[in-house]
Amino acid sequence: MKPAPTDGSDACQEPHLTECIAVSLRYVLAGLVLVLVGVFCSTVEAKLLIDVEHPSVEPMKIVVPDFTCGPGGQVSGRELADILRNDLFLTGLFHVMETPPSAVDPTRGEPDFQTLSQTGAQALILGSVTFRGDEMTLEGRVYDVALRKMELGKRFSGKARDHRAMVHKFGDRILEALTGTPGCFSTRIAFVSATQEREIYVMDFDGHNLHRVTQTGSINLSPEWSPDGRSILFTSYQTGKPDLWFVDLPSRRQGIVSGRAGINASAKYSPDGQQIALSMNDQGIPKVFLITTEGNIIKRLTSGRGNDISPTWSPDRSTIAYVSDQAGTPQIYMIPVNGGQAKRLTFETNYSTDPDWSPRGDLLAFTARIEGRFQICTIRTDGTGFKVLTEKGSNQAPAWSPDGRMIAFSSRRDGTHRIYVMDVRGTVQAPVSPIPGKAPAWSSTSQ
């Protein structure tokens, strides 16, 4: 379906969804708006920009009323708004306020900005939905309350069954408008089921649309998305030993990438998808190797007597961080891809593992043992700024969202392994997997 654009421009085509610009975004609405009564209004730039150097940034106060829905739909306006509210809440960037009763009156044609301003709201987000058979159109708007003007308008059309995807797309555009960087609400998380079956599952980032992608009847570990989101690497014991496999998601075709003697584990694609870093045996000791996507060895990257596992690439492909016990206990090291000496990064605890490099390039998330329990931590790539983000229960295996705003991880805080997501500061932490799960991996592309 190709809807008519609201501004006279050509409609953009996307699989299953069509998105059209209703109003050009004139500037990035980011931050608090100071109102000088009787004089002028101005925006404070970059208030919502996530900066780990300034962790005290306050969440933006927003109002998201229930969407208005036309007749004939199978989903309510409250359900649609709840999807968006949850998306924005999980980023830790927004405080979603209750909607004042008189703030939005469709008969007036314009929000009651004075009432909204009195509540302290900085932004108003509205959605309206119409249905035509099994087709659905969502129109979304973002208003700057202080300036009393609409700053973003978007239209999304597609099948009504894809309503969650449309709302996620709207949320992505809201974050782009308010921070300068698109959101990751349209991405997916792969993980290993924490049950006897140990199969690979995929779900939307918020836990919906769960489906199983392997059915091996064996132990499967360490899923890893290809950069294009079409396939997943994983280690499997299907042959009785830990081989590196792939599964092509559209066709569900599976095959072995590396089946060498010993382990073939903890594989990670390079950001351009041209190489794979993984742990393989060298004279009986796990070392980090680089191989092609067909499984051919490019080179061994690490050496020495330690066991070297769990590589992760820097976004610019110049460096790999990994875990080694060469100093006696597992710690995180970094080594240049093109050759050079390895450098130890972590010293704060006696057990550090599971590194994952932030897409922004400035941080590593990892698991550390603190006071006898595993916690999710971050550290700058120069070894400074060590932070502990979790404290409840045992938490492991962090995985960054592609926009660097959130981290997925496995937690047993409620007695069962579940996949959680949290914002980069750890202020919001919420379970998302509908079944027990471990070892999350976050896709870098939208559905």
Alpha helices, DSSP H, located in 149-278: 163-179
Structural domain for 345, as ranges? 188-442
Residue 108's pLDDT is 64
The mean per-residue pLDDT over the stretch 172-193 comes to 94
Total structural domains within the chain: 2
In a shared domain, residues 387 and 264:
yes
- The domain that holds 22 is classified in CATH as 3.40.50.10070
Domain boundary among 179, 207, 228: 179
> In the block, which residue shows the tokens 């080694």?
324
Residue with more model confidence, 49 or 349: 349
The pTM assigned to this predicted structure is 0.88
Neighbouring C-beta atoms of residue 44, cutoff 10 Å: 11
3 state SS of 407: strand
> Is 5 within the bounds of a domain?
no
Q: Which of 31-45, 149-163, 289-303, 424-438 has the lowest mean pLDDT?
A: 31-45
Percent of the chain with pLDDT over 70: 86
Averaged pLDDT for residues 254-276 = 97
Contact 182, 173 (CB under 8 A): yes
- pLDDT category of residue 58 using cuts at 50, 70 and 90: confident
Residue 90 DSSP label: H
CA–CA separation, 207 and 194 (whole Å): 15
Q: What is the pLDDT of residues 358-373, one digit of tens each?
A: 999 999 999 999 999 9
Per the CB < 8 A criterion, the answer to whether 220 and 192 are in contact is yes
**Same domain? 74 vs 144:** yes
> For residue 217, what are its two tokens?
């009847």
Question: Do 48 and 146 lie in a common domain?
Answer: yes
**Final residue of a domain: which of 156, 179, 202?**
179
Secondary structure element (H or E) that encloses residue 128, with its range: strand 123-132
pLDDT at 52: 33
Confidence of residue 353 (pLDDT cuts 50, 70, 90): very high
Calculate the average pLDDT of the chain. Answer: 87
> Does 436 fall in a domain?
yes
Point out the least confidently predicted range of 22-31, 46-55, 83-92, 278-287. Answer: 22-31
Same domain, yes or no, for 68 and 38?
A: yes
Q: What is the mean pLDDT of residues 144-167?
A: 94
Q: Is residue 11 one of the residues assigned to a domain?
A: no
Nearest one of 182, 177, 178, 269 to 229, comparing CA atoms: 269
Statement: residue 90 has pLDDT above 90: yes
Is 333 a domain residue? Answer: yes
pLDDT for the residue numbered 410 = 98
Residue 22 tokens, joined = 């209703």
Residue 7 domain flag: no
Q: Which of 102-106, 198-202, 379-383, 424-428 has the lowest mean pLDDT?
A: 102-106
Q: Do 160 and 300 belong to one domain?
A: no
- Residue 199 placed within a domain: yes
Residues 394 and 421 occupy one common structural domain: yes
**Does 165 lie in the same domain as 192?**
no
In this structure, the answer to whether residues 162 and 24 fall within a common structural domain is yes
12 domain residue, yes or no: no
* CATH code where residue 320 lies: 2.120.10.30
Looking at the fold, whether 262 and 318 belong to one and the same domain comes out as yes
What whole-number distance in Å separates Cα of residue 185 and Cα of residue 173? 10
- For residues 66 and 106, membership in a common domain is answered with yes
Average pLDDT over residues 373-391: 97
Whether the pLDDT of residue 132 is over 70: the answer is: yes
Which pLDDT score, from 0 to 100, does residue 94 have? 93
Q: Which amino acid is at 357?
A: W
Claim to verify: residue 131 and residue 107 sit in the same structural domain: yes
pLDDT of 391 higher than 90:
yes
Residue 308 is predicted with a pLDDT of 98
Q: Model confidence at 20, in pLDDT bands (50, 70, 90)?
A: very low
In a domain, 297, yes or no: yes
* pLDDT, tens digit (0-9, with 9 covering 90-100), for 191-249: 999 988 899 999 999 999 999 999 999 999 999 999 999 999 999 999 999 999 999 99
Number of H helices, E strands in the chain: 3, 33
Residues 201 and 278 in one domain: yes
**How confident is the model over 175-192, as a mean pLDDT?**
94
- 131 forms bridges with which residues in the sheet? 136
Residue whose tokens read 């654009």: 5
- pLDDT score recorded for residue 280: 98
pLDDT digits (tens, 9 = 90+) for 298-346: 999 999 889 999 999 999 999 999 999 999 999 999 999 998 899 999 9
How does strand 68-69 pair with strand 123-132?
A: parallel
The reported pLDDT for the residue numbered 393 is 96
Nearest-angstrom CA–CA distance, 93 and 175: 9
Residues linked to residue 365 through DSSP beta bridges, in sequence order: 356, 378
User: Which residue, of 179, 197, 220, is where some domain finishes?
Assistant: 179
Task: Give, as one character, the DSSP assignment of residue 134.
Answer: T
Contact 257, 246 (CB under 8 A): yes
Nearest to 313 by CA among 331, 325, 328, 301: 301
pLDDT band at 442 (very low <50, low <70, confident <90, very high): very high
- pLDDT attached to residue 267: 98
| Contacts of residue 109, Cβ cutoff 8 Å, sequence gap at least 6 | none
Query: Across-strand partners of 282?
Result: 285
Cα–Cα distances (Å) from 335 to 281, 298, 323, 344, 381, in that order, read: 18, 16, 11, 9, 12
